[in-house]
Amino acid sequence: MGAAASTGNEFRKITLQEENLVDPSKPVDASDVQSLDQALEEIRLLRRLARKYFEARNPRDTIKVKGERQAVVQIESGGSMNYEDIEFTDKSEAASETILNAIKTNTLFRRCKKEEFQKIVHAFRPVVKAPGENFIEQGKAGSTFFVIEEGETEIWIKQASSPEPIKVGLVRAGGSFGELALMYNTPRAATIKASTAPGCGFCKCWEIERAAFKAIIKHFHQARMEKYVAFLRKVTIGDTSLDDCLTASELQQLAGALDLENFDDGSVIIRQGEVGDFFYIIEYGEVVVTKETDGNSEELATLGAGSFFGERALLSDDKRQATCTAKGAVRLLYLNREDFSRMLGSFSELMSGDKSAAKAAREKQSSAQQTHDHFIDMELTDLDTLRVLGCGAFGVVKMVKHKTTGETYALKCQSKAAIVENNLAEHVLNERTIMMQLDCPQILQLHNSFQDDRYIYFVLELLLGGELFTHLRNSGSFPEHWARFYAASVVSTFNVMHAKRIAYRDLKPENLVLDDKGFCKLVDFGLAKIVTSGRTWTLCGTPDYLAPEIILNEGHDLSVDYWALGVLIYEMVSGLPPFYAEDPMEVYEKILSVHYTIPPTFSKMLADIIRKLLKQQQSKRLGNTRGGTHAVVKHKWFSGFDWQGLRNRTLDCPIKPTVTSREDGQMFEEMPEQPLAPVCTDWNPDLSVSK
């Protein structure tokens, strides 16, 4: 699906609630308003509509991203829940219908199938509150999503400008709240309590835990992919099966690219004599195959679930040899030759030569590992602290100087206690392992690592040119040739990382830092992960840059990096990310709809590469198709770019930092020394290095 068309002066999608608000039959003097609560609710909706109107009518450059964006990562305490461990709760038909109606309209449930909806409804548990009791509290992290069956709730918000919370609205029976908690731990934006209005008694809700929701989605998605891969393994053209010539990861990629279509009884799917380029697999139902000869129709076969037809369309335009008709309701999986070729190349080429040897070679290439560390022998006592460069949730980064050599480095000091408390030990060690494997001029170098009883220390290459985010905010936006330079730097890192099956998963301007010459380097590998086969399921990344499959918990692979590259290129040239909104759920709604506007100032080739990167189906995304990263390099937007000059650092950089020495920290804010982290004796990982 491409970008939704937009003229720039139309409203973004309005909700049913907002649509009812602007009903022309309502009196303009508001004489129909019966209570203060109703008035507050209408004012809140009117303000939301006014904001949408303003953003639709005003240029994007009047809106600015506020400050650096933090990544989110959801690590469940005690590990993720297994589907088998979910406790399902029986409920009445009326309660089930109330829950189903509420979740069917929610963004996060949009790709759920019938069987998933049934299990999700079954996983909701009852919760009852007396008038005035809180369901959720503003500022506290939560992990539950609620649907109201009986009664109503009040929404209260505490603002810095007001000493007391203000009631801003109501949620009535059939409504829901708290959906962001289904994605990750984040402080609740409001307090929601059972209504204290006269006549309101106990409020009965149904709640579902994030862990249960994710376990259900993962279970059914994996089961579907396994079934689709099993179907594909059996597809045979001539004497060659897809299983003979495709690797396991290629079969999974193909399974992810299959589209679904339903046919009613008697519908003709393909007709004899027509030319077609689609091939089909029956997911459920039956298809009757008939052939007409000399005016007589003969029934050849009835195909059931798992059977396929039209497979020769993968080779060339296929003149259909028979007619296939739905017998009863039928659901088909389908794929066209163009998508197959874009992902895996010509099927004719895959069939030719020694198929087993070619398949084995691709498997070996995708699993190759090699360590390229930039180890420098030193101890913590060899380093003097010059200043604090930055502070984060888990520690600080300092500029340090080697006492003997005089060389300066960045020392990342990560609190052991904070790491253990947040279940991030594996992530920290994974970051170290990955950085030791990467050897690329556009990737930050790790020189050493050690620990004491308070911190894990990483000695890193010192980059003094400032974050690309800072330069972008100062400039507002970049010319296309600037954006091309920085995008090429990112593509170069992906070329190295993806060859080792490493997904970066947190691309954004904040994680691109300039060295003292102005060359761009990728930093912060805390969310990077080796994806050896299949998909990974941890929700992580920065909201503006999350790919649809991460939001929907469908499992993701290297292709999330190409989605993020599309967002990055757009943001560099536009000044704002394509799916920008202040409300996170609105951001996710736009991402899942792939709803964005291509500004008229974008060149034709810039618009084209963005559309090809921002493909909703990860299997069809540029970079995740045939040729991998090389397909991005070969795109016409990069025509004429000097890739060799970038590798050799001979190109003229768009931004030239005025760095006077290796101790010049002018691009960093002055920060005081931070209090020492508490002692932690529970975690002492092995940080030894093989020399």
Please state the residue numbers annotated as binding site for ATP: 389-397, 412
Q: What are phi and psi of 105, to 5 degrees?
A: -95, 0
| Residue 393, C-beta contacts closer than 8 angstroms, at least 6 positions apart | 418
CA distances from 507 to 224, 490, 512 (A): 29, 9, 8
Is there a contact between 306 and 234 (Cβ–Cβ < 8 Å)? Answer: yes
User: What angle do the packed helices 114-123 and 210-233 form, to 10 degrees?
Assistant: 160
Is there a contact between 258 and 229 (Cβ–Cβ < 8 Å)? Answer: no
Neighbours of 432 (CB within 10 A): 17
Q: Tell me which amino acid residue 640 is.
A: G
**To which H or E segment does residue 135 belong?**
strand 134-136
As a three-state string, the secondary structure of 499-535 is HCCEECCCCCHHHEEECCCCCEEECCCCCCEECCCCC
Neighbours of 73 (CB within 10 A): 19
Whose structure tokens read 């933090």?
70
Catalytic one of 506, 515, 516, 544: 506
Q: How far apart are alpha carbons 158 and 169 in whole angstroms?
A: 13
Q: Can 583 be counted among the known catalytic residues?
A: no
Q: What are phi and psi of 187, to 5 degrees?
A: -60, 135
CA 170 to chain centre: 32
Q: Tell me which amino acid residue 110 is.
A: R
| Residue 558, C-beta contacts closer than 8 angstroms, at least 6 positions apart | 498, 501, 503, 531, 623, 624
| Residue 674, C-beta contacts closer than 8 angstroms, at least 6 positions apart | 388, 391, 395, 396
Q: How far apart are alpha carbons 1 and 610 in whole angstroms?
A: 12
Q: Where are the alpha helices (DSSP H) in 460-596?
A: 468-475, 480-499, 548-551, 559-574, 584-593
Neighbours of 26 (CB within 10 A): 14
Q: Which 8-state DSSP code applies to residue 394?
A: T
Q: How far apart are alpha carbons 53 and 64 in whole angstroms?
A: 17
CB hemisphere CA count around 88 (13 angstroms): 12
Q: Tell me which amino acid residue 632 is.
A: V
Q: How far apart are alpha carbons 153 and 167 in whole angstroms?
A: 11
Question: What burial letters (b/e) apply to 157-181, b meaning 16+ CB within 10 Å?
Answer: eeeeeeeebebbbbbebebbbbbbb
Q: What is the dihedral of CA 533, 535, 540, 546, to 10 degrees?
A: 120
Torsion sign, CA atoms 640, 611, 476, 511? negative
Q: How far apart are alpha carbons 363 and 601 in whole angstroms?
A: 43
Q: How far apart are alpha carbons 592 and 570 in whole angstroms?
A: 17
Active site residues: 506
